[in-house]
Amino acid sequence: MRIERLMTDEAALSELGERLARRRIELGLSQAALARQAGVGKRTVERIEAGATTQTVTLIRILRELQLLERMETLAPETGPRPMDLLRLKGRERKRAPRKSGKPAAKPWHWSDES
């Protein structure tokens, strides 16, 4: 089954758990061995494979032991600036998201503005 946007959270977690279990079996690891190598409890591995929620750091530890951590790059690839942004910024790196409200940007405050 594909993990898709319209799936419920529970269905996506269940599918992810099944895939992690298949990978663990491919590598010839028991749940106890994976848990030991990842530094988590065996019950934690059981819960993740059953589709329960987990902390992100726990998932990263398990993905590392299953040799899947590098695939996180496709999940959240590093993005670069768009060409028009480079022209607009003229070499300055963007620090914030653009303003989305319909209000015009406020006039910047200066030291001389104090009353």
Task: Judge whether 93 lies within some domain.
Answer: no
Domain count, the chain: 1
Flag whether 1 is in a domain: no
Rounded-to-integer distance, Cα 6 and Cα 23, Å: 25
Question: Is residue 57 one of the residues assigned to a domain?
Answer: yes
Give the pLDDT confidence score for residue 56 in this predicted structure.
94
**pLDDT score at 86:** 73
101 assigned to some structural domain: no
Residue-range definition of the domain harbouring residue 64: 9-75
In the predicted model, is pLDDT for residue 12 greater than 80?
A: yes
For 37-96, write each residue's pLDDT tens digit. 999 999 999 999 999 999 999 999 999 999 999 998 888 888 877 777 777 777 566 667
**Does residue 60 sit within a domain?**
yes
Closest by CA position to 71, among listed 4, 39, 23: 23
Predicted TM-score (pTM) of the model is: 0.68
Would residue 86 count as lying in a domain?
A: no
In a domain, 105, yes or no: no
Tell whether 63 is covered by a domain.
Answer: yes
- Rounded CA gap, 115 and 111, in Å? 10
pLDDT value for 61? 97
